[in-house]
Amino acid sequence: MDETKSRLLDELPEPLVKPGPSVETGRPRAAPEATAEVIRPGRPESECEEGSRVILPHGLDTPSDASSDLELAGSAADDLQALQSSSKLNVRVPHSARVWNYWLGGKDNFPVDRKVGDQICEVFPDMALTARADRAFLCRAVRYLAGEARVDQFLDIGTGLPTADNTHEVAQRVAPQSRIVYVDNDPLVLAHARALLTSSPQGVTDYLDADLHEPDTIIAGAAKTLDLTRPVAVMLLGIAHFILDDDEAQAIVQRLMDAVPPGSYLVINHATTEITPEATSAGIAHWNQFGEPEMTARSPRQIAGFFQGLELLEPGVVSCSRWRPDPSPRGEPAEVDEFCAVARKPDATCSPNSGA
């Protein structure tokens, strides 16, 4: 499959235009013309600290700080150099973590990732906006969990490459004692692990090289750092849509939540085709033809199914830009085709809500 995708990718024309985000809500946007303004995915500004400038998901400002620009040193740099010279890193086929890193303005990507990233932005102009709204949701959800919900343990599965405001940074700004386990199985993410594994003196950050298809391995590895008798926030951000089989995806989420006690939380965001169905479907089809791993969209009702037996927090299953957005003078943010929710595992005597 790698060879086929590489050959197909070589035959692609260069993108005519790198479109920016639409400010329209819920309406497909016409394909950009070649004369349109050229806008590449820029770097998101941190919006997680109280009082910081909030630009997502409205703007395309370029920040001056992004942890994806880390200069690796010592053994971490040696790991990266060894990886680049090995066969583990396939730079001829785009990978989701690297393309996502590009859309967020990071540097940990290759020409093949940028080429397909730009191609997807041509058929799905709101892609960069969606990536940033996804990151903004992570910030708000973690800030709520570490603050108001008083959760100080996080299992972040599908870590991706370092960028601005990773889970441990957001959590430990609110609760410095927070313990975070990152889970991913991408070799480039693993090479950056030592750079990513920074923590407040009071907290702990760890990294687990594992696959979401193997939840028991994840649970066993996480138990070495997290106390699974205390509440844990299980975070599946932008990863469940890579589990193509509905029953398998449901079973994986259920197994993870079975392993954590009452008072734990589940956080998911997932690709949909609710807002701009034609553009989003075209973007997913393009990705599945040229990128890895393949993905699928699910409806809000299907996404709500992942939270069966849990207590959904308000506002339920919504576009991730609409989950408790920070106040903005520009009004309610545009919806994007990533829907999300946060839910609590109830106490044994509670009757959970199963609807959105």
CA distance 170 to 155: 14
pLDDT, position 119: 78
Pairing relation of β-strands 153-157 and 179-184? parallel
pTM: 0.72
CA distance 263 to 351: 13
pLDDT at position 58 over 70? no
Higher pLDDT, 28 or 234: 234
pLDDT, position 351: 56
CA pseudo-torsion sign 11, 119, 105, 222: negative
**Cross-strand bridge partners of residue 234:** 155, 266
The model's confidence at residue 350, banded by pLDDT at 50, 70 and 90, is low
pLDDT, position 297: 96
Phi, psi of 246 (to 5 degrees): -60, -45
Contact 160, 98 (CB under 8 A): no
The model's confidence at residue 30, banded by pLDDT at 50, 70 and 90, is very low
The model's confidence at residue 105, banded by pLDDT at 50, 70 and 90, is confident
pLDDT digits (tens, 9 = 90+) for 277-301: 998 898 888 778 877 789 999 999 9
Query: Can the peptide bond before residue 346 be classed as cis, meaning omega within 30 degrees of 0?
Result: no
Pairing relation of β-strands 338-344 and 311-312? antiparallel
Pair of tokens at residue 224: 């070495």
Contact 56, 47 (CB under 8 A): yes
CA distance 137 to 129: 12
CA distance 72 to 64: 18
pLDDT, position 162: 64
How far are the Cα atoms of 61, 67, 89, 118, 307 from residue 40, in angstroms, in the given order?
Answer: 11, 19, 25, 8, 36
Helix (H, G, I), strand (E, B) or coil at 174: helix
Tell me the CATH number for domain 1-356. Answer: 3.40.50.150
Strand ranges (E), the chain: 153-157, 179-184, 204-209, 233-237, 265-271, 311-312, 318-319, 338-344
